Chain A
Amino acid sequence: MGNVTITIDGQKVTVPQDYYIIQAAKEIGIDIPALCYDPNLEVAGACRLCLVEVEGWRKLETSCSTKVREGMVIYTESERVVNMRKEILQLLLDNHPNDCLTCQKAGECLLQQYAYRYDVKFREHDGARRPNYVDTSSPYILKDDSKCILCGKCVRTCAQVHDRKVLAFAGRGFDTRIVADGDFTLEESSCVSCNRCVVVCPVGALVDRRLLGKTRVWDSQIKGVKCKACDYGCNFEVISKKGKNIAVRAKAPSQGRPLCLKGRLTTEFIYLDEPETPYKKVNGKFVEASWKEALELDGIFEKLVEEEKKGVGAE
C-alpha cells in the first residue's frame, strides 16, 4: 500500500492511500467533528458534520467517507464548512430536549461539545419534535428516544456481533426511530444488555442505567480495567467518587471484543465497594438474581468450596 501526501489546513501529512480524510486529519491532531463516525464501525455518512472543503471540488465532502488522494488540499474549518456545521447542529438542537442540566451524558456528550465549539444554542420554536418516549424496561440500559440523533452507531455496533442484531431503524424521515427487534421494549426484546450500544452513543439517548444519578463525569475518577471473565479481556472503567468505587461501565469494544453482561457483572463484583443487585433476564422478564446466579457460579461455587476443603485436608 503506497502513501500519499496531502495538505490539511495548511499542514502537510503523509498517510497510507486507503485512509479517509478524517483519519489523516487525526494523525496531525486535527479533530474534525463527527457524530456518526467510529473507526470501528462501517462508514455511514449520516450526520454530515464532518463535511470539509477540498480545493477544486465543487461540493463539500464528508471526510469520513472520502479517501485521500495525492496532492489534495483540504480545509476543515473554512467559513463555508463552519456555516454548514452550524446549520446542521441547529437542525439537531431544534429537535433535541434542552435537558443538559440533568442529562447523565453531560460532559461527555458530543452534541454538547460541538454545540459549544460552534456556538449554536437551543431556541424556542413551535415546530414538531421527536416524541418523548423513554424505555425504562431494562435495569442496565436507559433508552431515551427524544434525545436520539439517529447516527445509527448503536445499530451498527449491535450488528457486529453475529447473534445479536437487536437494534434497527424503524419508520422513516422525521419519524425514524431506533427500535429493538420488532419495536419491543429492551426487556421484551432479545437484547442481552451487553451495553455496546451505550458505549458508542454520542448523546444521552442510550445511557448506562446503573450509573444514573450516581455521579457526574467531572466529579469522578475513572480507571480502566480489563474484564477477567473470559479470554477476550474487554475493557471496562471503574468509576469512583470520594475514594469509593461506585460504578463500572463498559468501554468501546474493538478488535472483535464482544462485551457481555456476565463480564460487566463480574467486573462490578470484583471492583465495587457496594455492588448493586444484579438482574437476569428470564423468559423476557428482568428478575433480581443472587450474585451466584448472575455470575453463573451455581454448583461451581459449592464444588470449589468442596475442592478447597479437600485440598486443605490432603496437605
Chain B
Amino acid sequence: MMTIQELNEIKERTLKTMELRLQKKDTGKHVLICGGPGCHSSNAGEIKEVFEEKIREKGLDDVKVTLAGCFGLCETGPNVEIYPEGIFYSRIKVEDIDKIVDSHLCKGEIVEELLYEGSIEDGNIKPVSEVDFYKKQVKIALRNCGIIDYENIDEYIALDGYQALAKVVLEMTPQEVIELMKEANLRGRGGAGFPAGRKWETAFKYPADQKYVICNADEGDPGAFMDRSILEGDPHSVLEAMAICGYAIGADQGFIYIRAEYPVAVHRLEVAIRQAREKGLLGKNIFGTDFNFDIELRLGAGAFVCGEGTALMESIEGKRGMPRPKIHRTAHRGLWGKPTIINNVETFANVPAIILKGADWFKSIGTEDSPGTKVFALGGKIKNTGLVEIPMGITLREIIFDIGGGIPNGKEFKAVQTGGPSGGCIPKEHLDTPVDFASLGKLGSIMGSGGMIVLDEDDCMVDIARFFLDFTVDESCGKCVPCREGTKRMLEILERIVNGEGTPEDLDRLESLAETITEGSLCGLGQTAANPVISTMKYFRDEYEAHVYEKRCPAGSCQALLEFFITEDCIGCTKCARNCPVSCIEGKVKERHVIDTGKCIKCGTCMEVCPVGAVIKR
C-alpha cells in the first residue's frame, strides 16, 4: 500500500534526477528524444541507443538520455532536445549523433546546421520554449508529454502524479469532487462537449450495486492522433483520472477501450497499469482507504463506430459493435446495464490538473463557455504538421498561421477541415473565428476530437467531401437505413460529380439525402456523416456547380475534369511533344504547340518537362 508520505518521498527523490530537463540545474546535460508516434516510427529508438553508446564511449558520466512522449512537432522529427539550455535539434539521423555528442555534449558548442530551422532568429539561437510553434501553446492535457519517461511511474509522480488521487480519496467527498468538476466546466474533448462534471453527477446519483468507468481511446478520425500521444507519452494521467472518476461516482472497475491499431499505446498502458498496481495506486484500499479501483484494457477490432459510446459498450460486452437506441442514459444504464461514465482520453488527462489547481485556475484558461485547452492534430497543407495544445478561444488563424507556420510552397489557404468525418470545412472568411464548441458549431463544423486538416488552393472541395464520405461508407455499421443506404447513395453522387458525370438534379438529391441522413440516423456517426457535404455545399457551392454545369474542377484536382493546355509562353522547344507518351502534342520548332485533348491521357509529363512553365492545367 502506498501512503502519501511514500508518494512524496518518490516525488522528491525522482525530481532530483529530473532537474536538468526542468532547467533547475545547469551542470551536466540531459538528452531528451521524442518517442511520439511520428518520431518513434522514424527510428527514435535506435537514436536513443546510439546516443547512449556514444556517450558511454566518451565517458560522459553527467549526461543522461531519456526517450520521452511526443514533442508535438512531428513535421521535423525525429526531434531531440538538449537540456538545460533547451536546444532543439530536428530531423536527426543516426549519423548526426557523433557530431552532437562531439561538439555539443563534449565541448558545449551547438551544432547549428542540425538545429530546428525555427529556432534561429536574427542570428540568435532560441530555446525550444521560445520557438513560434510552442510559444502560444498552453499545455494541460499534454503537460507531461515530452518531459517524462513514459515507462517510469516515478517520473510521473515527480511531476505531482497521483497527488490528485491522494487528495480526493483522503480529503474530499465524492460530492466535493463532482462539485469541483462541475465548477471547472470541463467539457468532453471527444467532440460533443458534454460537461464531464454533470455526467459524473448523473452516475453518482443513480444507486446501483456496480458502476463502471470507461475511457474511450478508440480514436479513429483520419489524421488524428491526440489521444494516442497522450496514452503513449503520459499514460498515468489517464489512469489517475479514471480512478478519481471511480471515486466520485462509486465505481471500482474501469475499462480502457483502445483500438488494437495502437500497439505502442497498448504496451505503454499495460506497463503503466502494472506499475500502478505494484505501487498500490490501483487495486484494493488505495492510500489506505476503503476505496478500490482497478483498470483493464479492452482492444477494439478496428471499427470506427466503436468510438460511439453505445457501440463501444456492446463491443466490451463481447457483442458486435453496433449502436443501441438511446432509451436510457449511459450514466444510468450503460455497460451490462449498470451506471457507466465514458469520457475520452483527453478529457481524463485534464482531470488531475483540475483537482490539484482548482476550478478557478482552469476557468482562467480558455473561454467562459469552453474553459481550458484543446489538443489538435495539425495536418494537410501546413508547414508544421504536428500536435498542438492551445487555449480555447484563440482563432483558427493563430493556430494555422502562427503556430502551424501557414501553408507551404507559397500556396493560398482555402479551408480547414475540423472534426474529421463528422465535421465540416471552414473557409478563409471565417479564419478569425475563435476555436470553441459553440463557434465551430455555428459554422456547420464541430470541435470534434481534434483533427485539423488544412486545405490549399489545389484541393477540390467536392473531392474532400467525397474522401470523407468514402470513409463513412466504409465505417457505417450497417444497422440503420439512412446511414447504411443513404451514405452510399451520397458517395455515388459525389463520385459521379468528380468524374464529370454529375447532373443538376444530383445537387438537389445530395441536399435531400443530407437531410435524411442527418435527421434519420440512429447514432452520432450517421447523424454527422453528411456534415462534410453540407459544409462544402454551403461555402463552396460554386465548385460543385462548376463540376456539374461546366464539367470543370476549379482547383485543378479532379483528374477526369482537367485539361492540359499550352499557353502563349510556349517557346516551341518541342520537348513536350518529344516526351508525350501518346504523341498528342503537335507544333513546329519555335512555334506554339497544341495538345489534342481528345487523345491526351492527362499524365502531366508535358507540364513536368516544359522549361518555361507554359503547360498549365485548367
Contacts and interface: CB of A to CB of B under 8 A. Distances in A.
Interface in B474-489: 474-482, 484-489
**Chain B interface, >50% SS class:** helix
Contacts of B324: 45
A169 interface: yes
Interface in B70-89: none
Contacts of A172: 303, 305, 475-478
B521 interface: yes
A88 B476 contact: no
Nearest to B304: A172
Given A173-B473, A173-B478, A48 B522 contact: yes
A174 B473 contact: yes
A174 B473 CA distance: 7
Contacts, number: 98
Q: How large is the interface on B (under 10, 10 to 19, 20 to 34, 35 or more residues)?
A: 20 to 34
B310 to A, nearest CB: 10
B486 A91 contact: yes
A47 B412 CA distance: 45
B520 A173 contact: no
Contacts of B520: 48, 51, 60, 84, 87-88
A111 B94 CA distance: 66
B516 A84 contact: yes
Contacts of B303: 172
B480 to A, nearest CB: 5
B326 A65 contact: yes
B327 interface: yes
Nearest to A84: B520
Interface string A26-50: 0000000000000000011111110
Nearest to A62: B325
8 contacts: A65-B325, A84-B516, A94-B489, A171-B478, A173-B475, A173-B476, A174-B473, A174-B485
Given A84-B520, A91-B489, A176-B484, A44 B325 contact: yes
Contacts of A49: 481
A173 B521 CA distance: 13
B56 interface: no
A310 interface: no
Contacts of B492: 127-128
Interface string B489-509: 100100000000000000000
A173 B488 contact: yes
A150 B489 contact: no
A43 B479 CA distance: 13
Interface of A: 43-49, 51, 59-60, 62, 64-67, 84, 87-88, 91-92, 94-95, 127-128, 149-150, 152, 168-169, 171-176
Nearest to A64: B325
A152 B9 CA distance: 58
B512 interface: yes
Contact of B516 (A64, A87, A174): A87
Contact of B325 (A43, A88, A152, A175): A43
Given A46-B479, A88-B520, A169-B478, 16 more contacts: A45-B480, A46-B522, A47-B480, A48-B521, A66-B327, A84-B519, A84-B520, A87-B520, A127-B488, A149-B481, A150-B478, A152-B479, A169-B320, A172-B476, A172-B477, A174-B478
B485 A95 contact: yes
Given A60-B519, A87-B512, A173 B489 contact: no
A150 B482 CA distance: 12
A59 B478 CA distance: 22
B605 to A, nearest CB: 34
A48 B305 CA distance: 18
B322 interface: yes
Contacts of A174: 473, 476, 478, 484-485, 488
A127 B489 contact: yes
Nearest to B321: A172
B478 A91 contact: no
B485 A92 contact: yes
- Which of A48, A65, A95, A173 is most buried by chain B, counting CB atoms within 10 A of its CB? A173
* A-B interface, 4 closest residue pairs, ranked by CB to CB distance from nearest: A176-B478, A45-B325, A65-B325, A173-B476
B320 A173 contact: no
B480 A173 contact: no
A150 B327 contact: no
A91 B516 contact: yes
B451 to A, nearest CB: 21
A51 B325 CA distance: 12
B519 A150 contact: no
B479 A91 contact: no
Contacts of B477: 172-173, 176
